[in-house]
Structure 1
């Protein structure tokens, strides 16, 4: 069984924070503002980001050796989500959470 290192625990925490932020902002902030915030491509990306973050945390928590692959995908999706949220604007909390998670997941994927 794989031991959860301090670096892995930090990544789990970042993933869960990003999951919480993306899901909450999509379902509250974006739905309330409408317009570009609820365009299919953006909204789907936010939901995908939330789900891959939750999945990456889960893979690390259960000690799956596949967590590196999942973390790599998580980092890519978080990077894309951060850029899209920045493009749309008024989503600084999501941009910051996605960037922090991406950075942590890139380290786990290495």
Structure 2
């Protein structure tokens, strides 16, 4: 049995935050590719992609009640925090929205992990 919250409400809260973060990161990475000085957005794009991937993986693990979710949630918090920090450096609306989604996801992961 997993040693983290398993109620439908608790799981839905973390799943919603993870999925919002995936969507924000994917959108941000795509929008960054269209920026005039795309080379200045390389770190943002890389982190967006990493963050989207780990959030998607953690969402699948949480949804199935995997015993491996807990330690990956900690990594997810770290990647979300780094992505939020990088995106916040840029004044593009997509970057600011992504930073907010990443911060919210990191906080939801913290609460879920206890």
Q: Same fold (TM over 0.5)?
A: yes
Q: Give the corresponding residue for 1:66.
A: 68
Q: Tell me, in whole angstroms, the C-alpha distance in 2 between the residues paired with 1:18 and 1:5.
A: 20
Q: Give the corresponding residue for 2:51.
A: 49
SS at match of 1:89: coil
For structure 2, list consecutive stretches of 5 or more residues without a partner in the other structure: none
Q: Contact 2:29–2:44 (CA<8 Å) still a contact in 1? A: no
Q: Give the corresponding residue for 2:78.
A: 76
2:53 is the alignment partner of 1:36: no
Offset of 1:60 from its aligned partner? 0.3
Q: Give me the TM-score of the superposition, normalised by structure 2.
A: 0.85
RMSD (Å), alpha carbons: 1.5
For structure 1, list consecutive stretches of 5 or more residues without a partner in the other structure: none
1:17-36 matches, cutoff 5 A: 17-27=20-30, 29-33=31-35, 34-36=38-40
**Poorly superposed stretches of 4+, deviation over 2 Å:** 1-5
